Structure 1
Amino acid sequence: MPDWKRHLNIGLVLSSFLLVSCASVSTIEQMPSKNHSFRIKSLVMHFTAVNYQESVEALVDEGNVSSHYLIPSLEDPTYPQKELKVFQLVKESDRAWHAGVSYWQGRSGLNDHSIGIEIVNQPECQEDIPFDASLAAVPPQIEGAEKNRDLCIFPDFEEAQIKKLIALTKDILARNPDIEPTAVIGHSDIAPSRKNDPGPKFPWFRLYQEGIGAWYDTETLNQHWLAFNQTPPSLALVQRALSDYGYGLIATGRLDQQSIDTLSAFQMHFLPWQVTGQLDNQTAAAVFALVEKYFPDKFQDLNRLYQSEVLADQIKQQQVFVNTQQSQISQDFRNQSTDKLPKVTNRARFKAYKGRGELLIETDDASSAEIYINEQRLSLDNFEAGNINRVSLHKRTIDGLNTLRVENIQPADASIRISIPYPTLAYEIAPYKEDFAELDRFIRKGINAGFPGLSIAVVHKGKIIKRTSYGHARKYDNRGQLLEDFEPLTSDHLFDLASNTKTFATSLAIMHLVNRGDLELDRPINHYIPEFSGNGREVILVRDLLSHSSGYAPELKFYRPDNVWGEYFYSQNKIKTQRLLLTALPFDSVYSGSQTYSDSNFMILGTLIERLTNMPLDQFMRESIYQPLGLENTLFTPLKHGFEANQFAATEIQGNTRAGNVEFPNIREYVLQGEVHDEKAFYSMQGVSGHAGLFSSIDDLSVLSQVLLNGGGYGNVKLFNHAILDRFTSPSGKQDTIGLAWQLARDKEREWHFGPYASQSAFGHTGWTGTATVIDPEHDLAVIILTNLRHSPVISIEDKFEFEAESSELARYGNIVSLVYETLIKLKTEKQ
């Protein structure tokens, strides 16, 4: 170093020393800046979770955590004093170690700028038993799945504690004016994935009434709630609102674990009567009401985004209406004088039945046209421009496919739009009553022998020609004793469809989504649900789940702690079950295209539908499938939607106990009536799943069967086109009897279901509760059989529990289906 630089450095050091020395002995003159704030920004409430003595040891002894204040409990036997006191453990100006890894309103590490208050309060918690993968025969890959949370019972805080807390808090807020109402928070608010204190019993609203902390205005909450009942905000928007209020949450649009934890923390603070961790309209309304009250500028952006979602939803609903409100034919016609295919253009075909059908003509500029049905010209008057011109086709139509041809539209440059609705059902039961006498005798014989109840509908050539119920909807009480008066079964009763949910819910939904262009069968599930990955999940296609070619076992009993994969996979919570299905469920075999019937496939497909549509499966089915068809008796969780138990055919007599021989947590022990029997659906999926949970009646299923016989539509509703239906009802793999969701009548293997007479085009499904459907396009026939065979006593056979009604000939659906075909064959022969 040059000498001049060395001398300069020495001089600077000496000068600095002299300046410091002078400052230490002279008076410092104050010149207050307006640009400052107080260090303390938040006040954090905790409970200790242990008694007073253990709290002192944890908060005071060296090497542990700390807090600024501790409020004991008078009811705590380890508290040595008779008078309740507040103890200060750390000066407010000092840093206490109470928050840990934390975040609130843009600040992390809240120990640096918060005050913590610990209150002695001891919840009783059962710690979850971690899963030891080494104990499993094949350790499952469980990355991404969430362990069970601790089960806690939270006690009330003592009145004396709360009075001390209120007085202390008011003093703290007076000394620390930068603590805003929204910054008086709980430990669970700033660390929702780690903490649940001060818990749902903490009196946040009472503190608010004392001028401490934040709360929403009831009127504002109600306004948002009413609006959200019409158009719920998206999950991503609620996530943003929670972030705007202060939570450390990223708006992903997915209900990930961080979101579940944050929703739980918010609900413990502001909606302690419903801590579910799930998003509902009341929770969303509370978040919006808080942001509107305390962060009006942020609310402006939030509300603008919500209004755009409302508009988008209206457009979507219009699109849904357009997608579904379509006739069988809805086509524009004009003269094609230069067309190179003159014998092809202006022609179409449609399905109809003899003596039925209607044609609708709309035009703005045409006055007349030659219209031929089955090559017979219709007698038409001049058209009324701007109006719908309705023309009956009853003199021209035949059973099956009919033809349409349009010629000579006048004036020559004009056009017309022709619509022909899909066929709808008619009732023609009386003329066939005696023809089904043999079938009636067979069923009544089984009923007289003890079979509980059966309803049947036969749909043939667009008509319901049989609709009859036999036996009883309920015969036993909750103890398994016969009732004095049996409940007679009627054709209005609803049934638990069990696995027919796979076809009349999940399959219909997927066919509709494919028709809309929202889903491709040959794309991997991973394309739509990215977390469905690892261990070969990336190669599983949508088609593989539909065709039972995924490699999953028939089922995993999530609802039992002693399931085959251990307690890690125990779940009686839909969100956790779905997470386990997507990220952790092990394969039963190496994927090779082999087909093993599996409920898990359709549980995943139900989740896929929810992900694609951004709404629960039951809501999507109701709004997009059942309501457009006018079906009011086809739904999930019917007891939550205004139905009464006596409107349903009963299933198992003593819940899921097999007459007291089966046990697991929360098991039902009463007669099941209006609640889905399937344990995975009821306990692990809260009643709504892609594999089971749907209820319906023979009338509604008759309509859905006619939709399928029509090739995808009914009246003015089109759900999918015929080509899509053909893909779903064709063999999908090595087994000819398995289509995409549907069972196929391809060989004798399925005769117990379809009987011996079903054509090669017939398809259908069965359900464990005693339901079966057969749909045979070649014969334009559908047979719907709904029974409650599980509503019968349980018997033990070789360590297996079975139901008495299983031994009945009525439980072999092929017997009934055969008699239906034989009746129709006889009628056809007599007619010829």
Structure 2
Amino acid sequence: MTRGLWIITSVFFLMSCNSSTKIEQLPSANSSYRIKSLIMHFTAVDYANSKRLLVEEGGLSAHYLIPQRNDPSYPHKTLKVIQLVNENERAWHAGVSHWQGRNGLNDSSIGIEIVNVPQCNELIEHAEDEHHAPVLSDKHVKPFCIYPDFDPQQIELLIELSRDILGRNPDISPTAVVGHSDIAPSRKHDPGPRFPWYQLYQNGIGAWYDNATIAKYWRLFKQVPLSTKLLQQALRDYGYDLKPSGEFNQITYDTIEAFQMHFLPWHVTGVNNPRTSAAIMALLEKYFPNKAKAILDQYERDNIDEMRSVSPSSAKVAEPKGQINGTFPLQYESSRSAVENKVRFKAYEGRGEINILSTQPTSADFYVNGQKLTLDKLFSENVQYQYSLGKRTQDGVNTLFIDNINPPDARLMINIPYPSLAYEIDSKTKGDFARLDELIENEIENGFPGLALLVAHKGKVIKKEAWGHAKKFDAKGNELTQPLAMKPSSLFDLASNTKTVGTTLAIMHLAYQGIIDVNAQVIDYLPEFSGDLREMIKVKDLLRHNTGFPSDVKFFDNNETVNNGLFSQNRIHTHFLITQRLSPSVNNLIDQYSSYSDINFMILGMLIERVTGQTLDKYIEKTIMASLGLKNTLFNPLEKGVALENIAATELAGNTRGGLVNFINIRTDVIHGEVHDEKAFYSMQGVSGHAGLFSNLDDLSVIAQLILNKGGYGNTRLFDEDIYREFLTSKNASEEYALGWKKATEQNRWMFGPYASSQAIGHSGWTGTLLIIDPQHDLVIVMLTNKKHSPITINDTRVDFAGDHYELGKYGSIASLIYEAILH
């Protein structure tokens, strides 16, 4: 028989044998897929050594290997995924492991090895696991390692591969996409703290918590911490191999560290803290709500006395009304009788009120500044009493003492609102400002476009006036035959004053609520803000301009010689470029050197959106401004029904600088009712943390008085004195910036003038706006101009706006004359 005939006969025989067995298909409902987990690893060695360890006999294996660029041992020009083991077969990648009730995960998982090499100061001792060859990812001795970023192209391949794997293996849940350190926390560190888990989550791979939920639990656990035993139970419920013993032992440390590397990679300590507890509970609430509820129920039972009215379901801290809003007798005891039932409050001479509500018929003696008030002898039950304090108050600090409360078990609810602005503009005031008025009128007559000015001193508006025109020129610089008159109520493009009265005010409120910690890293709130030293940046670094980000990035300009490859006229893409392509300066971060940059506040705007779950404009307008009753401080005013005649115009020929500048979609007509700033308008669609707000004199004066009141206005409190001190006072008098505000230092004399106190804060805006708040003199200056609404001259490539050359456009002279009117 020939060899060919023998092969044909053998094949026929085998086919005949196979076909003789008849198999009937009867699918059972009681089955599932074998693969339950997707496990990520780093190799800790280069491609050549990885291939040797994963392929040659006697080593370990994985289902896939993904190389990285710039690896001399990788022989190909382009990256590609390399399959080492069929997905239906068992690879030796997990070793001794556990996840979500399963041991020995080699049997039920797919493993992906990613070439990534940490730099460690000594080799790591190797484990002696069955089917596990020695590699640097073993965790027995690891004094110090520096973990490099993963190759972006490598991660793109990983995302594509992982999506395919999840599509083929539907039993892999989001919480079962894990790292080697998750399934073996006492042995493993891979894929390490630089692995982009959040980026994978954004692409539909793996689990992540919701920011609003973690903020909710963070506030709760800052007040009453989650116990070690309940934390252990939460980690076990999520999937970790950890027994809830209540003992903080080595395995607990290792497990917390593994969890933090996955979900809090910017804060890997191995120690429990409110943020770690909040993260695991936020994950349980999202993916295992019944388990979260069981832990929370036990937590409340364990802490019933400490918690009292504390509840994690409250998304916000209850807002106190007024600067004093408490129950007397005060609910603390002191052995020093002279401190009982005494408080201080701010008021102005001849003004102020007190509101009293009693739980039962009660009598008491009230003293303001040591003088007894003449009040009702008996307060009836549940009746609101309101009394003027005008005969007893003085400018500044006032005292309240309540004595002889009878019966002793009675409770008096006391409310004293924060000071609000009053108006007192008379002939004497006009005389004080004669020199100022003369300067303004002369410059308006000589061509300055327009100005609105408000001055408030000791809680009284003593000057509020407008001059000139809100719109005076057409796009070619010709004067209009019917120019639009400026009004005291006109809205102005605040430009960079958006940073103060919008973004910083929102951050102060969120810090007061415990939602944002300015000493925390930005990556705590924006997980994608990683790589190139971004993890070093704290929220306060952004507020103080200590990051070293470029002063201006022209995202909006499609000319690559201008935008440096960072072109974007799309809000989402701009977010990506800022958080993942722009790099800070290590020198600024280490030396705490300030270098002004819009980028800092663009990031803060994104941060506000992330922690509140709202767009920046909605949060600032509906939460901050609405609580103060302010309706004229808003983004994109035309879209919200504000008429053009109520808004001051800015640049004449769009953003062209008289035709010198050109890019795609550039505006060429007079900018009127839209934000002028190019990054805000083109790249952020009018809503950004650095620019975009419009406002007027009245609204800004309320915000300024709120700052003078150290956090409140009337019966609204946005923050307290602790937040005020943290943001607006500094031990270093030479620092140019407080948190979010400029200080009246020598560098800023040009805008504050020579008389501002060392306590003064403020900011200017490119379009011609100035805000000064001076606590020492109890003074507010709101100066709004449209100085950029003026003709342009071009010298070579230098652009001159005529409005910049007037004293009104330079700020300092106006500030000086106002101070002289107040101080002389």
More deviation, 802-811/625-634: 802-811
Q: Which amino acid aligns with 1:465?
A: I
- Corresponding position: 1:469 with 2:439: no
Offset at residue 340 of structure 1 (A)? 0.7
* Aligned residues of 2:346 and 2:419 also touching (Cα < 8 A): yes
Q: Which amino acid aligns with 1:761?
A: Q
Cα separation, 2, equivalents of 1:143 and 1:732: 43
Q: Show CA shifts across 1:614-657 (max 9, x none).
A: 21111111222100000000011112211222221000001100
Offset at residue 17 of structure 1 (A)? 8.2
Structure 2 match to 1:530:
527
Q: Which TM-score applies when normalising by structure 2?
A: 0.63
Superposition map of 1:626-775 within 5 A? 626-731=625-730, 735-747=734-746, 749-775=747-773
Structure 1 match to 2:115:
none
**Unmatched 5+ stretches in structure 2:** 1-8, 30-80, 82-148, 156-162, 165-199, 212-285, 294-310
* Aligned residues of 1:731 and 1:738 also touching (Cα < 8 A): no
Q: Which TM-score applies when normalising by structure 1?
A: 0.63
- Corresponding position: 1:502 with 2:466: no
Structure 2 match to 1:603:
602
Residue aligned with 1:649, SS: coil
More deviation, 459-468/561-570: 561-570
Structure 2 match to 1:375:
370
- Corresponding position: 1:409 with 2:409: no
Q: Show CA shifts across 1:190-209 (max 9, x none).
A: 99xxxxxxxxxxxxxxxxxx
Structure 2 match to 1:792:
790
- Corresponding position: 1:552 with 2:549: yes
Q: Quick one: which of 446, 453, 463 aligns to 1:456?
A: 453
Residue aligned with 2:614, SS: coil
Residue aligned with 2:610, SS: helix
Structure 1 match to 2:242:
none
Q: Show CA shifts across 1:396-433 (max 9, x none).
A: 11111110001110012222121100011111123423
* Aligned residues of 1:560 and 1:664 also touching (Cα < 8 A): yes
The verdict on how the C-alpha distance between 1:810 and 1:248 changes in structure 2, with shifts beyond 3 A counting, is closer
Offset at residue 482 of structure 1 (A)? 1.9
- Corresponding position: 1:397 with 2:393: yes
Offset at residue 736 of structure 1 (A)? 2.6
Q: Count residues with an aligned counterpart.
A: 570
Offset at residue 437 of structure 1 (A)? 2.5
The verdict on how the C-alpha distance between 1:525 and 1:451 changes in structure 2, with shifts beyond 3 A counting, is same
More deviation, 512-521/400-409: 512-521
Offset at residue 573 of structure 1 (A)? 1.0
Offset at residue 801 of structure 1 (A)? 0.5
The verdict on how the C-alpha distance between 1:732 and 1:524 changes in structure 2, with shifts beyond 3 A counting, is farther
More deviation, 796-805/354-363: 796-805
Structure 1 match to 2:613:
614
* Aligned residues of 2:533 and 2:583 also touching (Cα < 8 A): no
Cα separation, 2, equivalents of 1:733 and 1:700: 31
Offset at residue 688 of structure 1 (A)? 1.0
Cα separation, 2, equivalents of 1:634 and 1:145: 44
Offset at residue 723 of structure 1 (A)? 2.8
Superposition map of 1:778-817 within 5 A? 778-817=776-815
* Aligned residues of 2:317 and 2:513 also touching (Cα < 8 A): no
Structure 2 match to 1:111:
none
Residue aligned with 2:338, SS: coil
Structure 2 match to 1:419:
415
Structure 2 match to 1:270:
none
Structure 2 match to 1:6:
none
Cα separation, 1, equivalents of 2:153 and 2:795: 39
Q: Which amino acid aligns with 1:485?
A: Q
Q: Show CA shifts across 1:321-349 (max 9, x none).
A: 832x5210112212899841111121111
* Aligned residues of 2:555 and 2:563 also touching (Cα < 8 A): no
Cα separation, 1, equivalents of 2:15 and 2:356: 98
Structure 2 match to 1:490:
487
Cα separation, 2, equivalents of 1:608 and 1:35: 50
Residue aligned with 2:337, SS: coil
The verdict on how the C-alpha distance between 1:20 and 1:558 changes in structure 2, with shifts beyond 3 A counting, is closer
Structure 1 match to 2:566:
569
The verdict on how the C-alpha distance between 1:393 and 1:480 changes in structure 2, with shifts beyond 3 A counting, is same
The verdict on how the C-alpha distance between 1:801 and 1:508 changes in structure 2, with shifts beyond 3 A counting, is same
* Aligned residues of 1:556 and 1:563 also touching (Cα < 8 A): no
Offset at residue 727 of structure 1 (A)? 2.5
* Aligned residues of 2:534 and 2:583 also touching (Cα < 8 A): no
Offset at residue 31 of structure 1 (A)? 7.9
Structure 2 match to 1:441:
438
Q: Show CA shifts across 1:558-616 (max 9, x none).
A: 11233568553111111111111111102356333211111111111111111111211
- Corresponding position: 1:357 with 2:355: no
Question: Among the aligned pairs, what percent are the same residue?
Answer: 45
Structure 2 match to 1:623:
622
Cα separation, 2, equivalents of 1:362 and 1:656: 58
Cα separation, 1, equivalents of 2:563 and 2:673: 31
Cα separation, 2, equivalents of 1:145 and 1:337: 61
Cα separation, 1, equivalents of 2:619 and 2:354: 31
Residue aligned with 2:822, SS: helix
Backbone CA RMSD of aligned residues: 4.0
Residue aligned with 1:568, SS: coil
Q: Show CA shifts across 1:442-496 (max 9, x none).
A: 1011111110000000011111111100000001123432211110000111000
Cα separation, 1, equivalents of 2:153 and 2:731: 31
Q: Which amino acid aligns with 1:342?
A: S
The verdict on how the C-alpha distance between 1:593 and 1:386 changes in structure 2, with shifts beyond 3 A counting, is same
The verdict on how the C-alpha distance between 1:558 and 1:389 changes in structure 2, with shifts beyond 3 A counting, is same
Offset at residue 532 of structure 1 (A)? 1.4
- Corresponding position: 1:579 with 2:576: yes
Cα separation, 1, equivalents of 2:537 and 2:431: 52
The verdict on how the C-alpha distance between 1:477 and 1:253 changes in structure 2, with shifts beyond 3 A counting, is farther
The verdict on how the C-alpha distance between 1:17 and 1:532 changes in structure 2, with shifts beyond 3 A counting, is same
Q: Which amino acid aligns with 1:423?
A: P
Q: Which amino acid aligns with 1:647?
A: N
Structure 1 match to 2:339:
344
**Unmatched 5+ stretches in structure 1:** 1-13, 37-100, 102-140, 148-189, 192-238, 256-300, 309-314, 827-832
Cα separation, 1, equivalents of 2:486 and 2:416: 38
Q: Which amino acid aligns with 2:808?
A: L
Offset at residue 318 of structure 1 (A)? 7.5
Q: Quick one: which of 329, 335, 341 aligns to 1:334?
A: 329
Offset at residue 16 of structure 1 (A)? 12
Q: Which has the larger radius of gyration?
A: 1
Residue aligned with 1:492, SS: coil
Residue aligned with 1:779, SS: coil
The verdict on how the C-alpha distance between 1:143 and 1:397 changes in structure 2, with shifts beyond 3 A counting, is farther
Cα separation, 1, equivalents of 2:150 and 2:560: 16
Cα separation, 1, equivalents of 2:152 and 2:543: 25
Q: Show CA shifts across 1:105-134 (max 9, x none).
A: xxxxxxxxxxxxxxxxxxxxxxxxxxxxxx
